[in-house]
Amino acid sequence: MIRAIDSGLKKAALEVQEYVFLTAAAFRGVFTRPIYSHDIVEQFDLIGVGSLTVVLMTGLFTGMALASQSGLTLDQFGARPVVGRLVSASMIKELGPVLAGLMLVGRVGSGIAAELGSMVVTDQINALRALGTDPVRKLVVPRVLAGFFMAPVLTIISDFVGIFGGWVVSRFQLEVASGLYWSSVTKSLYMQDVWMGLIKPFVLGFIIVTIACHVGLRTSGGTQGVGKATTLAVVAGSVAVIAADFFVTQILIFTIYPR
Amino acid sequence: MKATANGLTAKQVLAEVGAPVVVFDRVQLAFDDKVVLRDLSFTLIKGHTKIILGASGSGKSTALKIIVGLLKADAGVVWVNGQRVDQLSEHELMAVRTDLGMIFQEGALFDSLTVRENVGYKLYEETDMPLEEVDRRVEEVLGFIGLAEHIDKMPSELSGGQRRRVAIARAMAFKPSVLLYDEATTGLDPITATTVDDEMIKLRDLENVSSIIVTHQLRDAFYVATHMATRDRDGTVHVVPATPQKERQAEFIMLRDGLIIFEGDADAFRNSKDEYIQEFLA
Ligand SMILES: Nc1ncnc2c1ncn2[C@@H]1O[C@H](COP(=O)(O)OP(=O)(O)OP(=O)(O)O)[C@@H](O)[C@H]1O
Ligand SMILES: [Mg+2]
């Protein structure tokens, strides 16, 4: 029993170590040559543009549901006109980053793990190395860069669409005047909230992609292993997104908010 | 570079006729508790051929991966072109690999790239060669191997045998001086297999490429061992039966349980009294 726990702990420690090594290697790869710029452009397109639809859809529906729900709650206090404030704060600080993050895990994290995993089991990673290419520079760096920079862009889009969705519901279902909604959206927004909403997706995008790359590159056990790696990338990625969101929130609350 | 006892640098030694290109000295490797290579020692001489035979799972592909530095041996010394690949870092290995071409058992083509991009991968991505020149080289190599019309297809649109030939073309394209063939002719029809064999023979005899051939196809193994390529005065190339002297430059190695149970030329292999080998030949 103790031995099982011991070996389990060792395995986990090894896994973390490998993850840190990969992240460090990716970091080095960003700042030193060779750089595979063609692959970087391709990944920005695949990860950024490719994820636009899902992010738009989730953003829109989340904003609409949020307005609807907030309307119900606010009515208890006769505070329906401030619905815009609730929608914008929730979207920008919390739901935008987290939901865009989760969507990226599902769409991008799983794809990366499956692609890299199948490259491992078919010896394509070995072939790259044999041909003189460092797989981290060729495959991991472009994906990490794309995840890091596109997650905030997608999150901002999702925030806007969500707030727009909130307006639709506020205007036509809650019958709050448009001017009132928009002024409460902007008036209540603190600069700190915007920072929080901007910093989070950088962190989340980075975490999602590095976890997926790590899991993909450690695939073993043939096609079945690829399936397992994909599932693991999604599960570990989702948990990591939500956990990282909590910790980043804590850190920011203690650093950038006035007390 | 360190000078050897007789005052030659490693580079000069390697330039000589009969220089050792790949040396395995008491190499051992185990995956967890499964011992794959128990004690493997052999030397590949420049321009010569090693043919590695052995049952499925006897560690042939593993041995090739050790040469390229894709796997690290647990013990023993591995020299490739004068470098201790067992001690080099991944970064230092890149220099050794510029002179090594490997054909992977399952082809290992990049399935997101076209045939052209696969074959020219190294030249496009890792060298400064001008694009038109790379294009020309890619077309030339695909022409050799009879796949010129498939140049713009994706690997998934090719048959198994075609994919294998693309893999061969990819390893040949950057003109390495050592080629490692892992089952390069398996799954090919006899005529295409002979084309591939002829190509291996020509590279060896006309370009002085050293080769290690892993195969289950005894027919191809004997064909490569017992033929040689010559160039006429007018430049035409012929593949003809090898002279006895040339024949001795191709050596068979038989692996079993992580050990070499036979090492010798085609004749000796054919006439071996070993029961296991007799069974293998039957
Ligand atoms: N990554 C790995 N992890 C664990 N075991 C491995 C790994 N790669 C190979 N092996 C084991 O090592 C042994 C030798 O494998 P190898 O691929 O070298 O055999 P082979 O001689 O090339 O066989 P074949 O003729 O079927 O290609 C096999 O028993 C295999 O199960
Ligand atoms: Mg094999």
Greatest CA separation for chain B: 58
Q: For residue B6, what pLDDT is reported?
A: 55
Question: Which letter does DSSP use for residue B48 in this model?
Answer: -
Residue A108 has what pLDDT? 94
Find how far residue A215's CA is from the centre of its chain.
Answer: 16
pLDDT at position A193? 85
B-chain CB neighbours of A124 within 8 Å are 108-111
pLDDT of residue B11: 66
Are B90 and A134 inside 8 Å of each other by CB? yes
Tell me the range of A98-112, B28-42, B145-159 where mean pLDDT is highest. A98-112
Vertex B109: Cα angle to B176 and A214 (nearest 5)? 105
Rounded to the nearest 10 degrees, the angle between the axes of helix A191-217 and helix A2-31 is: 110
Which ligand is in closest contact with the Cα of A123? 1
Per-residue pLDDT, B1 = 45
Gap between the terminal Cα atoms of chain A: 48
Ligand nearest, relative to CA of residue B57: 1
**pLDDT score for A101:** 94
Q: Is the pLDDT of residue A73 over 90?
A: no
- For B149-197, write each residue's pLDDT tens digit: 888 999 999 888 888 889 989 998 888 999 999 998 887 888 888 888 8
Q: What is the mean pLDDT of residues A174-189?
A: 82
Contacts of A139 in chain B (CB under 8 A): none
Q: Does B125 touch chain A (CB under 8 A)?
A: yes
What's the confidence (pLDDT) of residue A234? 95
Distance CA B185, CA B197 (A): 8
Looking at A67-81, A87-101, A121-135, A195-209, which range is the least confident one?
A: A67-81
Work out the angle between the directed axes of helices A2-31 and A141-172 (0-180°, nearest 10). Answer: 90
Given phi > 0 = left and psi -120 to 50 = alpha, else beta, which region is B40? Answer: beta
Mean pLDDT of B86-93: 88
| Nearest protein CA to atom 17 of ligand 1, as residue | B61
In chain B, list all ranges with CATH 3.40.50.300.
21-99+180-185+210-282
Which residues from chain A sit within 8 angstroms of residue B104, using beta carbons?
123, 126-127, 130
| Least confident stretch, A64-78, A113-127, B11-25, B264-278 | B11-25
pLDDT in tens, B222-280: 999 899 988 888 878 888 888 888 888 888 998 888 888 888 888 888 888 888 888 88
Q: Is the pLDDT of residue B2 over 50?
A: no
- What was the pLDDT predicted at A29? 87
Task: Give A124→chain B minimum CA distance, Å.
Answer: 5
Ranges of each domain in chain A: 36-256
Counted across chains A and B, CB pairs separated by less than 8 A come out at 54
Q: Which of B224, B213, B216 is nearest to B178 (CA)?
A: B213
Which positions 131-150 of B are in contact with A (Cβ < 8 Å)? none
Task: Supply the residue whose CA is at minimum distance from atom 29 of ligand 1.
Answer: B57
Residue with the nearest Cα to atom 30 of ligand 1? Answer: B57
Whether A37 contacts chain B with CB within 8 A: no
φ, ψ (nearest 5 deg) of residue B32: 50, -115
Q: How far is B105 from chain A (nearest CA, A)?
A: 9
Alpha carbon of B258 to ligand 2 centroid (Å): 14
Task: Provide the token pair at B66.
Answer: 């050790």
Round the average pLDDT of chain B to a whole number and report it: 86
CATH number of B21-99+180-185+210-282: 3.40.50.300
In this prediction, residue B145 carries a pLDDT of: 79
**Distance between Cα B269 and ligand 2 center (Å):** 21
The pLDDT value given to residue B10: 62
Residue A66: strand, helix, or coil: helix
